[in-house]
Amino acid sequence: MSQLFFEAFEGLNRMAPGSRDTTRRALALLESGFSPDHILDIGCGTGTVTLHLAEAFPRAHITAVDNHRPFLDRLGQRAREAGLDGRIRPLCRDMLDMGLPEGSVDLIWSEGAIYLAGFDRGLRAWTPLLRPGGVMAVSDACWTTAQPDPVIRAWWTAEYPDITTVEDRLSQIEQAGCTVLDHFIQPVTDWSEEYYRPLQANLDKLALKYPEHPEAASVLAALQEEIDLHRAYGHQYSYGFFLIKPGQAR
């Protein structure tokens, strides 16, 4: 991706829609007493969720994976400042080639990143990494209406053809040989307030910084279109958050 794209996200705590409340809500759905030793945070960005997980599980060690080194450098700095660098290992790898042994992870966490692999592909690639009794928590784009407006349907089809309904996601999980422990739809504020508001501020600054830069104009226009479309149609889609366990329910 263009360096200008990453510059647009510089300084942001989140690389995707989400919130501390949503992370807490998902954590609360885990079985009482669940205490992972090894957590894998996939698509960690600058580590906001990684730090939440470290706080929630004070004995766990976390492998935080991203393929953009500057994000991991920022995570490393934040971990040191929080006194957590001994428990958090940043790993710069592709999410489909992390070099981790099968059966080595108790909890896989991935907020707003599985789309990079594709939901079904990511699910099937990551599940073998879990130990017996392990759990995977992922969020991904889902329609929240049966008939989305043609404008937003066309945009999502171009950007992420894998978007589908929650029901289809549940079916994909079952077909992959897994069980859904629970799921929910994230609130619109995870997009509008937690993600797009700070991103819009960055875009406004970059527009002033690169007033006659063709590549910057293209990157900024694409991100602005995404924000504007959410303002108009954000009630028709969101992230579905799924807690998944390998194996079929008995």
- Provide the CATH number for the domain around residue 135: 3.40.50.150
Residue 242 lies inside a defined structural domain of this protein: yes
* Residue 208, domain member (yes or no): no
Q: Which domain holds residue 163?
A: 13-188+235-246
CA distances from 203 to 10, 103, 199, 210, 222 (A): 10, 42, 6, 10, 11
pLDDT digits (tens, 9 = 90+) for 113-154: 999 999 999 999 999 999 999 999 999 999 999 999 999 999
Is 121 a member of any domain? yes
For residue range 72-128, list pLDDT tens digits in order: 999 999 999 999 989 999 999 999 999 999 999 999 999 999 999 999 999 999 999
Give how many domains the chain has, as a whole number: 1
Q: What is the pTM of this model?
A: 0.94
* pLDDT of the residue at 145: 96
Q: Is residue 44 part of a domain?
A: yes
Q: Is residue 97 part of a domain?
A: yes
pLDDT over 90 (residue 5): no
Q: Does 150 fall in a domain?
A: yes
In a domain, 172, yes or no: yes
- On whether residue 209 sits in a domain, the answer given is no
